[in-house]
Structures are given as structure tokens and as C-alpha cells.
Amino acid sequence: MTRGTRKKPGPGNQPLETTFRAGCGREWQVRSAEADLAYTEQAFAECPTCPHRVEPEGAPAFCTLRPATASHPFAGLAGFKSELDD
């Protein structure tokens, strides 16, 4: 198993179909045990100007797809209060 991969039960240990959502709200149903996916096709007209687009240096642009049931990646910071806020 590679890092970041989680196994889901299924027939013959195949991953279950999961609904993945992009930042723009589009959804894909994919059989994957990965915690998130990279959408590199960028096939929609608004992809080049999408605020959710990631453009790593030396690699193709992509959009991160996360399971639709997952919390926002920064949800854990919602209750965070730093010393600077005092």
C-alpha cells in the first residue's frame, strides 16, 4: 500500500465507488481508495481562471478532488485562536 492510500472493503478488495468533488462543485464518481485525486485534464472553459486551480512549478496544472463527504481541509482551524487574536 502506498502512502496516503486507504483500503476500503469491497468485492475482491476493490475500492468502492466514491463521489469526488472539485472546488468548483463538479462531481465525479470514481473507484478509488485515495484520500484525494488530481484532475489534470482541465477540460472546462473556466478551468484556466478557476481559483481552485493549482499550478505547481514544473508540473501540469490540476484541481484537487476530495470525497464529497469529506470536511473542508481547513475545517479543523475553524476554532483555532492564536495568541495574536488576544
- Domain range list for the chain: 17-70
Q: Which residue has the cell 496544472?
A: 61
User: What is d(CA 17, CA 9) in angstroms, rounded to the nearest whole number?
Assistant: 11
Chunked into runs of 10 residues, the chain (86 residues) has average pLDDT values of 48 85 93 91 92 93 91 74 62
What is the per-residue pLDDT for 75?
74
Residue 49's SS3 state is helix
What is the per-residue pLDDT for 1?
34
